[in-house]
Amino acid sequence: MATIRVGINGFGRIGRAVFRRVLETKQFKIVAVNDLTDAHTLAHLLKYDSNMGVLNKDVRYEGDSFVVGNQKVKVLSERDPANLPWKKLKVDVVIESTGIFTSPAKL
């Protein structure tokens, strides 16, 4: 079975929890995260999560991405989800975790 490429829109508490869970599987690969925060800060928040504790993997940032172990994750910073390059990044599934889109009317 092919690996499912995942994007996460919103990298707060829920987005980081999903990211950590996906790291435990081989079926999924997170290729991009969209959040208005910079890659350096997101890498720090992922590594040192106040709810989930310290992530037991190397985490570093590289320009507009962060790397967890050997997995590079592109960081996007787009307010309007319609402008996100999910197709260009070959993302199969997007996890919506911003908390903004709480009803079909807001989509």
Query: How many H helices and E strands in the chain?
Result: 2, 8
* CATH number of residue 35's parent domain: 3.40.50.720
* H/E segment holding residue 43: helix 39-47
The torsion defined by the Cα of 104, 23, 7 and 65, in degrees rounded to 10, comes to 140
Whole domain around residue 26: which residue ranges?
4-106
Total structural domains within the chain: 1
Cβ distance 47 to 59 under 8 Å? yes
The 10s digit of each residue's pLDDT in 45-75 is 999 999 999 999 999 999 999 999 999 999 9
**CA-based nearest residue to 33, from 89, 88, 74, 87:** 74
Q: 103 pLDDT band (50/70/90 cuts)?
A: confident
Q: 1 pLDDT band (50/70/90 cuts)?
A: confident
Amino acid, res. 85: P
Cβ distance 80 to 56 under 8 Å? no
